[in-house]
Amino acid sequence: MTALRIALIHATPLAIDPIKEAIARHWPDVQCQHLLDDSLSQDRVREGSLTPAMVQRFVTLARYCQGAGAHGILFTCSAFGPAIETAGQATGLPTFKPNEAMFEQALSLATQGRALRVALVATFEASIASMTEEFMAMAQARGIDAHVTGCFVPQAMQDLAQGKAQQHHDKVAAAVGQLSAFDVVLLAQFSMAAAQPLAQQASTVPVLSSPDCAILALRHQLTHA
């Protein structure tokens, strides 16, 4: 039997270590292929929105992974939801958005008769609008009343890129600690995963990060197909 191979497509090198660590915890025997195009995030910020050319780049990346033998694809970049959907349709492979599984976990916390109050904490500001739209679409499809509030943590991603991991974690935790009247806190970027333990200490509600949820969901789909 051919060993399962998954492709991990990144728009920032900061997402690579968190997903590698999640794979080591939950699916150590799977074959991995990592692709990085760190111009995607820069171009997304410069353009201000997803362009047709940018969407086509996602399709090209996905088809490359398919040609290399991938059985499933996980994109780790959180500001490109519609492009990821198009890429999945182009290949027909199981293709996951980075936060899809985390959103499912958050929605499972909803209680009948009261809106689910969600705080979306991001270190890449451009991801907030698209992620909010994705979350609300999932909530509406399930008949769940939800409200999402975005919270941008300035300078934290730059700290991480400069090797100042503790400063990054401290900034994320401080932002989470200032949030109140929410049912769940979502850490938007894969690169924020290592800040989750400290952020959880600052909060009285669940603080979720996406790498573990994503790998568990992809493993379940590919091994139960």
CATH architecture group of domain 5-98+212-223: 3-Layer(aba) Sandwich (3.40)
pLDDT of residue 49: 85
Cα within 13 Å of Cα(86), Cβ side: 16
Q: What pTM did the predictor assign?
A: 0.84
State the CATH class of domain 100-209.
alpha beta
pLDDT of residue 3: 84
pLDDT of residue 1: 53
- Tokens 């992809």 -> residue: 218
Give the Å distances, CA to CA, from 195 to 27, 88, 172, 177, 216.
22, 30, 7, 13, 20
In the chain, which residues fall in CATH 3.40.50.1860? Answer: 5-98+212-223, 100-209
Residues composing the chain: 225
Mean pLDDT by runs of 10 across the 225 residues of the chain is 88 92 94 95 88 96 97 91 94 94 95 93 92 94 96 97 97 97 95 95 96 93 86
